[in-house]
Amino acid sequence: MRRHRQSRILATLGPSSSTPERIRALVEAGADVFRLNFSHGSHADHAERLRQIRAIEREVGRPIGILMDLQGPKLRIGKLAQGKVMLAAGSRFRLDLDASEGNATRANLPHPEIFAALETGTELLLDDGKLRLRVEAFGPDFADTTVLVGGPLSDRKGVNVPGVVLPISPLTPKDLADLDYGLSLGVDWVALSFVQRPEDVREAREIVGDRAWIMAKLEKPAAIERLDEIVALADGVMVARGDLGVELPPQQVPILQKRIVRAARAAGKPVVVATQMLESMISAPVPTRAEASDVATAIYDGADAVMLSAESASGQYPVEAVTIMDRIITEVEQDPDWRAGLEASHMPAQANTPEAICCALRRVTALLNPAATVAYSSSGFSCLRASRERPSTPILGLTPQLATARRLALVWGVHPVPFEDVHDVAEMVEHASAAVVTHGFAQPGDDVVIIAGLPFGRSGSTNLLHVVKIPK
């Protein structure tokens, strides 16, 4: 089950992909990590899917990562008397805390935190941005608005407040219950929705601890304003383009995608590009050429992974979607311009020993063209730092921790392998030489580059680079 590409595929499970046979087919087609979307499905549903993934993982002998995606706060209007009303451009419309059914002139908005954050002139978006309102007057329990862009409005449609930091936690009571359950199941990543500020990541970290790695979903404009701080605190980030595209003009989303990818790569944190990557494959067996180009662009930029949502969760062609995504990535990574682009966008190293070792790793692999790099890592730190350099060789991540191996399944270029611990350099060289041959990365007589931290088992201590020729 060795992958012959460096970028990874994150596939969402759902009604179209919930049988052991279908999950196995997705793995064989190229899925490296599976997303469990806690916005849908019961705890029992997610537990069964996780059980199936772990069983398939044992069958294929390859660590498979599991990411739980928390729903986060959902801001919605209340019910309308007729189920739907028509708002005309230029008309006045009130939002308030009155729980009674709404009509063409007012609707319930059961979120006092929104009223607390408003200013005159603030724009509110309804129904994924299809309707736009401007606040003319407001109080602690109401907002009088003018309809800028009208149209039909139905019950329980979502509300977005772009450009405003709302005084709410990203973790609702539902999220807290889901998080506790997901961590008890042993998920590897937690995707945190509705991140607005660094404090949101800290709040999640206090609960998650070291039981999983945290992926901050960047879907709010406020988060972009403090991007570097959020990236520094999270273990990885996701470019959640769907929600970004609601609160920002669509022409800004590609620019922000590149900015987020650059920031994550500079920090050595995995970055996932998500949403509508192969959207047409929900109902068609092939993607549009624009979608294929979209996936390719993320790979040329150096993203660690690209994600499928409804395409694999509820679409008619989940396995085909993964297969096509795998082929696009593979084709791009065979293009010399892809490698040249990674070299041109290389991030300078920091002045510390681990970064110096991994910077040297990049130069050594470019000069010697070894068969593979082996990174010994208990915490995953050495693998992350090696991946940050985007070396020209695959990275075999040897770790004594199965949980670490599963988390690394999302990381660019890293082929994680659970492995027994080593106690000295000679034993390390022996085990590394055997592993690269066993897993099909090298043959006797090939050069292999090894990085590790001494003493073994101490996180963040990468200080050794060793070049070895595998004995014939």
Could you list the active site residues? 35, 76, 217, 275
Query: How far is it, in rounded angstroms, from Cα 73 to Cα 175?
Result: 9
- Look up residue 365 and give its DSSP letter: H
Query: How far is it, in rounded angstroms, from Cα 432 to Cα 449?
Result: 9
The alpha carbon torsion through 465, 304, 437, 401 (nearest 10 deg) reads: 80
**Torsions phi, psi for 467 (to 5 deg):** -105, 130
Query: How far is it, in rounded angstroms, from Cα 21 to Cα 315?
Result: 16
- Taking CA atoms, 429 is separated from 267, 361, 397, 451, 452, in Å, by 29, 16, 14, 10, 11
Side chain identity, residue 330? T
Contact 387, 268 (CB under 8 A): yes
Q: Which of 240, 234, 241, 201 is nearest to 217 (CA)?
A: 240
Q: Where does 166-312 show beta strands of DSSP type E?
A: 189-192, 213-218, 236-240, 271-274, 305-308
- Helix or strand run (H / E) with residue 124: strand 123-126
Question: Cα 1 vs. chain centroid, distance in angstroms?
Answer: 22
Query: How far is it, in rounded angstroms, from Cα 333 to Cα 390?
Result: 12
The contacts of residue 45 (CB under 8 Å, 6+ apart) are 18
Query: How far is it, in rounded angstroms, from Cα 76 to Cα 125?
Result: 11
The alpha carbon torsion through 22, 25, 26, 29 (nearest 10 deg) reads: -160
Side chain identity, residue 104? A
The contacts of residue 278 (CB under 8 Å, 6+ apart) are 287, 291, 295, 308, 311, 321, 324, 325
- Look up residue 76 and give its DSSP letter: B
Query: How far is it, in rounded angstroms, from Cα 374 to Cα 436?
Result: 8
